[in-house]
C-alpha cells in the first residue's frame, strides 16, 4: 500500500485528504464519510474536531492505526467492524466481526417495542422484556437505557454475540437490568419465567436462504450467516419465536419482530391463529418490516 505516503509530518488535513482519494480509488461508495470515521477512530477526535484540528500532526501510533483501518476498509470490510463501534438510537455500542451490524430499521422495531413497555409501566410500574437473538445487544440495551423501569432478559445462540452484549451492557452501566444467556431462543429460561414478560422482541435471522447469494459483498463477505439465514421462506426462526412467545408473555403482552419485507403477509397470517391485533409496521424506507401482535 501507499505506506511511503504516510509521512512523519502528516497533519490531520493531509492524512484525511490522502485517505479520501485512496478510498475513492478503491471504489468506496462514501470515501469522505469513511475517511472521517477512520480518522476519528485513529485519533480520538470527533468528526467535527477533525476539521478544527486540521494542522495537528499525527503521532506514530495514530498513523499506524489509520493505516490499518484504511487497509481493511479498502478490502471492502464494513466501516463499523473497522472502527469497532456503531451509534444506535441514544447509545453507542461496540461491534466486531462475527456479530451482525445494527441497522436503522431496528431502531423502528425498538419504537414499536417501547409502546408495549410503556403500557406495562403505566399498568404495573415496571416492565419485563425478553429479547431473542440479541446480537450486539442494541435492542435490549436501548430499551433498558431509555426506560429505567424496564428489566430485560436477552439471549443468543452465538457465544460471540452473548459476550458482546454483556460487554456493551457493562460499558453502558446497564448490566443490573440486562441479563444475558447463551442459548437457543428461550431454552435457558426456567419455567418460573413463563407468563412473566410484557414484551417479547426479536430481530431474528430472516433472509430467505436463496437470497443470501444476492446480498452485497460487504454483507455476505463479512457478516455472520447465522444472523442472516432465515431458512427457505425466511420465517423458520420467526415461526418458533411466534409459538414459544405465547408461553412467556403475560396476558395482553406484545410480540414484536423484525422480518424480511416480502414475508410479513405470510408471517401475519400464521400469527393470527394465536394472537390478536396483528399489525404490520413499515420501516423508514416505507417497506413492510415489523410484525406486532398481542397475546390474548
Q: Which lies closer to ligand GLN via its Cβ, residue 62 or residue 283?
A: 283
Strand pairing category for 249-258 and 197-202: parallel
H helix or E strand, kind and range, residue 132: strand 127-132
| Candidate ranges 20-28, 43-51, 85-93, 200-208; the one touching ligand GLN (CB under 6 A) | 200-208
SS3 for 133? coil
Q: Which lies closer to ligand GLN via its Cβ, residue 3 or residue 213?
A: 213
Per CB under 6 A, 37 contacts ligand GLN:
no
Q: How far is the CB of 49 from ligand GLN (least distance, A)?
A: 32
Per CB under 6 A, 206 contacts ligand GLN:
yes
SS3 for 91? strand
| Candidate ranges 1-9, 63-71, 201-209, 242-250; the one touching ligand GLN (CB under 6 A) | 201-209
Q: How far is the CB of 233 from ligand GLN (least distance, A)?
A: 13
Q: How far is the CB of 296 from ligand GLN (least distance, A)?
A: 27
Per CB under 6 A, 58 contacts ligand GLN:
no
Q: Which lies closer to ligand GLN via its Cβ, residue 43 or residue 136?
A: 136
Q: Angle at CA 174, nearest 5°, toward 170 and 175?
A: 60
H helix or E strand, kind and range, residue 276: strand 276-282
Contact set for ligand GLN, span 224-263 (CB under 6 A):
228
> How far apart are the C-alpha atoms of 236 and 231, rounded to whole Å?
5
Looking at residue 102, the DSSP 8-state letter turns out to be P
Per CB under 6 A, 267 contacts ligand GLN:
no
Q: How far is the CB of 60 from ligand GLN (least distance, A)?
A: 38
Among 219, 226, 280, 281, interactor with ligand GLN by CB under 6 A: 219
Per CB under 6 A, 205 contacts ligand GLN:
yes
Per CB under 6 A, 207 contacts ligand GLN:
yes
SS3 for 206? coil
Per CB under 6 A, 203 contacts ligand GLN:
yes
Which contacts qualify for 235-238: CB closer than 8 Å, 24 or more apart?
Answer: 235/206, 235/259, 235/263, 235/266, 235/267, 235/270, 237/133, 237/185, 237/204, 237/205, 237/206, 238/202, 238/204, 238/206, 238/263, 238/267, 238/291
Per CB under 6 A, 103 contacts ligand GLN:
yes
Q: Which lies closer to ligand GLN via its Cβ, residue 22 or residue 81?
A: 81
Judged by CB under 6 A, the number of residues near ligand GLN is 7
Q: Which lies closer to ligand GLN via its Cβ, residue 19 or residue 142?
A: 142
Q: Which lies closer to ligand GLN via its Cβ, residue 228 or residue 293?
A: 228
- Interaction site with ligand GLN (CB under 6 A): 103, 203, 205-207, 219, 228
Amino acid at each position: 500500500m501507499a505506506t511511503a505516503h504516510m509521512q512523519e509530518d502528516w497533519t490531520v488535513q493531509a492524512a484525511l485528504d490522502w485517505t479520501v482519494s485512496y478510498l475513492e480509488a478503491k471504489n468506496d461508495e462514501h470515501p469522505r464519510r469513511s475517511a472521517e470515521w477512520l480518522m476519528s477512530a485513529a485519533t480520538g477526535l470527533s468528526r467535527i474536531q477533525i476539521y478544527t484540528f486540521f494542522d495537528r500532526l499525527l503521532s506514530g501510533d495514530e498513523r499506524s492505526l489509520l493505516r490499518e483501518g484504511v487497509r481493511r476498509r479498502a478490502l471492502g470490510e464494513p466501516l463499523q467492524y473497522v472502527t469497532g463501534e456503531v451509534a444506535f438510537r441514544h447509545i453507542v455500542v461496540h461491534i466486531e466481526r462475527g456479530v451482525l451490524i445494527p441497522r436503522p430499521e431496528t431502531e423502528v422495531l425498538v419504537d414499536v417495542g417501547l409502546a408495549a413497555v410503556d403500557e406495562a409501566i403505566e399498568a404495573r410500574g415496571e416492565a419485563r422484556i425478553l429479547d431473542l437473538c440479541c446480537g450486539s445487544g442494541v435492542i435490549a440495551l436501548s430499551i433498558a437505557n431509555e426506560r429505567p423501569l424496564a428489566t430485560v432478559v436477552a439471549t443468543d445462540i452465538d457465544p460471540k454475540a452473548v459476550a458482546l452484549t454483556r460487554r456493551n451492557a457493562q460499558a453502558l452501566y446497564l448490566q443490573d437490568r440486562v441479563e444475558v444467556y447463551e442459548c437457543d431462543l428461550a431454552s435457558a429460561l426456567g419455567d418460573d419465567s413463563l407468563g412473566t414478560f410484557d414484551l417479547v422482541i426479536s430481530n431474528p435471522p430472516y433472509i430467505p436462504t436463496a437470497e443470501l447469494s444476492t446480498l452485497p459483498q460487504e454483507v455476505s463477505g463479512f457478516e455472520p450467516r447465522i444472523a442472516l439465514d432465515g431458512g427457505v421462506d425466511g420465517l423458520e426462526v420467526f415461526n418458533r419465536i411466534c409459538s414459544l412467545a405465547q408461553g412467556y408473555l403475560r396476558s395482553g403482552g406484545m410480540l414484536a419482530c423484525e422480518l424480511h419485507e416480502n414475508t410479513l403477509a405470510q408471517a401475519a397470517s400464521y400469527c393470527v391463529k394465536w394472537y390478536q391485533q396483528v399489525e404490520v409496521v413499515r420501516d423508514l424506507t416505507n417497506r413492510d418490516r415489523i410484525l406486532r401482535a398481542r397475546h390474548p
